[in-house]
Amino acid sequence: MRHFGFLGASEQDELFERPPEQFTRDSGHDLLSVALGATLYIPADRPSLVADITKQAAAGVTSVVVCLEDSIADEHVEAAEDNLVHALADLHADAAAELPLLFVRVREPRQMPALVARLGRSVRVLDGFVLPKFTALSGTDYLHALDDADRIGGRRLLAMPVIESGAVLYAETRVDELTRLRALLHRDRARILAVRLGATDLCALYGLRRSPELTIYDVKVVSNLIADVVNVLGRADGTGFTVTGPVWEYYASAERIFKPQLRQAPFDVNDERELRSRLVSRAIDGLIREVEMDKANGLRGKTAIHPSHVSVVNALSVVSSEEYRDATAVLGAGRGSGVMASGHGNKMNEIRPHMAWARVTALRAQVFGVARDGVSFVDLLAASLPR
């Protein structure tokens, strides 16, 4: 797999100083969790599931979750399971298919070993499971069931637990729940690829829903939790996990109260006024702002429910030439202390405080590439989105 692999050689050369590198399912957790990028969710009951997965992989999606949970009506779960099993069998039989990282979001723990038993040899195309409504109580059952699935399938499957319960959101139980979750996840950290945030379920506990003009960080009851999840589970001292950004729900036009959140100047410079208009009309300007807020708050990657979101998230994950030079300078200074001026002459790089940031930036550069000097997010997005 490789991000932006759908671009031709000449386009890649124009856009990237250092092109994205290939990664595989056997890449280490640190790299693979960053490489997730935008993870596209697809309902398991889609009649064209095989075609949908292969189409999106060809269009640049590198991680897919096939959902058996909230996107499927209760009475259709059995049919969706049948559809999923047949689809994975077809994908396994097609040796030429280039597949993304592939996960299944289940409804309850015992569904995992049951599905793996039905998959047989086609379990080889499955990379793991997404574990919804993961709590310190339910998490033990999920991880034990995943052990059973491993034994049945004969391979180590990865897990992405979803933090979305009242126990972790409510102020009176949050600290205890997060502390217990950390202990549980640390005991099985070899299989935990990333921790995901279920913003829709969290908002539902208070009857809330953000508008397309607001980000999840404007919903304080949830943004406060995000800060605490990163505080406890996302530490950069070697004990933390990758925490991914929550879903952006909007993909079509909606009535606006405020001005669009995208400046005109970058699009004017690149002669991409029509692109800006398209992004604003589909509420993508709100997604762009939320992705930038995710990055500033320690989240990497994002849940996506529409293919148009994938290009935005992944384009914003590319490392700028300036970021790369700063990170390289910090890493090159070793473990000592000290301060140096940025090569761009606009900031200081302090060795010890910026070392963890530099390491993560180097991982991003490896899987998303480094943009050429002067290449902007607008250029990357214009090359990624269909006209």
For 71-81, what is each residue's pLDDT tens digit?
A: 999 999 999 99
φ/ψ region of 159 (left if φ > 0, alpha if ψ in -120 to 50, else beta) reads beta
Short-list 244, 251, 253, CA closest to 309: 251
Helix residue ranges per DSSP H, the chain = 9-15, 29-35, 49-58, 77-93, 111-119, 138-153, 166-169, 171-187, 199-204, 220-233, 265-269, 273-281, 284-296, 307-315, 321-332, 351-368, 377-384
- pLDDT of 253: 66
Question: How many other C-beta atoms can be found within 10 angstroms of the C-beta atom of residue 156?
Answer: 11
For 172-189, what is each residue's pLDDT tens digit?
A: 999 999 999 999 999 999
| CATH for 22-318, options being 3.40.50.300, 3.20.20.60, 3.30.70.960, 3.40.50.970 | 3.20.20.60
What phi, psi does 16 have (nearest 5°)? -115, 130
Q: Which two tokens stand for residue 187?
A: 């005991």
Q: Angle at Cα 340 formed by Cα 338 and Cα 341, nearest 5°?
A: 160
User: How far is Cα of residue 380 from the mean position of the Cα atoms in its chain?
Assistant: 18
Q: Could you tell me the residue ranges of all domains in the chain?
A: 22-318, 322-378
Distance CA 340, CA 348 (A): 6
- pLDDT of 384: 83
The DSSP-derived string for 179-219 is HHHHHHHHHTGGGB--BEE-HHHHHHTTT----TTS-GGGS
Short-list 42, 85, 36, 89, CA closest to 66: 42
Q: Is 373 annotated as a binding residue?
A: no
Distance CA 61, CA 63 (A): 6
Short-list 134, 306, 113, 282, CA closest to 212: 282
- pLDDT of 80: 98
Q: Distance between the two ends of the chain, CA-based, in angstroms?
A: 24
Q: Which of 113-117, 309-313, 351-355 has the lowest mean pLDDT?
A: 351-355
For 189-247, what is each residue's pLDDT tens digit?
A: 999 999 999 999 999 999 999 988 899 999 999 999 999 999 999 999 999 999 999 99
Max avg pLDDT among 163-172, 262-271, 283-292: 163-172
- pLDDT of 333: 85
Question: Of all helices (H) and strands (E), which one includes residue 19?
Answer: none
Instruction: Calculate mean pLDDT across residues 101-116.
Output: 98
Q: Please list, in sequence order, all residues whose beta carbon lies within 8 angstroms of the beta carbon of residue 24, skipping any fewer than 6 positions away.
A: 1
- pLDDT of 274: 74
Q: Which two tokens stand for residue 180?
A: 């217990």
For 88-105, what is each residue's pLDDT tens digit?
A: 999 999 988 889 999 999
β pairing state of 370-371 and 16-18: antiparallel
Question: Would you say 312 and 343 are in contact if contact means Cβ atoms under 8 Å apart?
Answer: no
One-letter amino acid identity for 112? M
Note every long-range contact of 179-186, with CB atoms under 8 Å and residues 24 or more positions apart, other chains counting: 179/232, 180/136, 181/134, 181/135, 181/136, 181/139, 181/232, 181/233, 182/232, 182/233, 184/136, 184/139, 184/140, 184/143, 185/139, 185/161, 185/233, 185/241, 186/239
Question: Is residue 346 over pLDDT 60?
Answer: yes
The upper half-sphere exposure of residue 337, i.e. CA atoms within 13 Å in the direction of its Cβ, equals 0
Question: Is residue 160 over pLDDT 80?
Answer: yes
Question: Would you say 343 and 325 are in contact if contact means Cβ atoms under 8 Å apart?
Answer: yes
Instruction: Calculate mean pLDDT across residues 148-174.
Output: 97
Question: Is residue 387 over pLDDT 60?
Answer: no
